[in-house]
Amino acid sequence: MIVMTPDTEYKPTENDVCVFLAGGITGCPDWQKEIIKKLDDRCDTATLVVMNPRRENFPIHDPHAARDQITWEYKNLERADIFSMYFCESVSDQPICMYELGRNLLRMQMRFPADWQNRIIISVEDGYKRKQDVLIQTDHALEVDVVLTQPCPEVLMDYHAAYIWKAYQKLRRFSG
């Protein structure tokens, strides 16, 4: 498994399957680290590329940092084979995530018309403030499974990683 961040350089190959870990960053726990660990425990090949937008140290005083971050995210969301969205309990409503959810549900439908449902994983922690909005949005996007909610984030992260792994295995069988 290869993990890409805005701080690393890696150009995915045509044999790689790329998953983008969309979801809250600012004011949110590092749920990406937990998902990556759970995927790493399963993965013994380098064909899974995890695109993680969280940086170890965001250069907050750099006036170009926000543009660079958003550009990296936009570019890698466009190349992702699997769209993973995780809404965690936090002090933030994560408003940009709601935009990303709508945009990328449509993008996946258009890019992969035959099997887009198999390429989307959405999880919502019980404590996420806009949980109802996410459930209503995904209900309108026909046939999208939400990994729904679980009483504790650790269980939800297990399910989320398992769904990513299942999508990855389907894509590897289809392309291999």
The pLDDT value recorded for residue 174 is 66
The angle subtended at Cα 18 by Cα 7 and Cα 131, nearest 5°, is 90
104-113: average pLDDT:
92
This model's pTM is above 0.85: yes
- In the block, tokens 């887009």 appear at 116
Whether the predicted pLDDT of 151 surpasses 90: no
96-102: average pLDDT:
91
71-83: pLDDT as tens digits? 999 999 999 999 9
The pLDDT value recorded for residue 148 is 66
What domains are there in the chain, each with its CATH number?
2-175 (3.40.50.450)
**What distance in Å separates the CA atoms of residue 12 and residue 133, rounded to the nearest whole number?**
34
7-45: pLDDT as tens digits? 888 988 888 999 999 999 988 999 999 999 999 988 877
Contact assessment for residue 71 and residue 60, using Cβ atoms and an 8 Å cutoff: no
> Measured between alpha carbons, how far is residue 26 from residues 82, 94, 152, 167, 171 in Å?
23, 8, 21, 27, 31
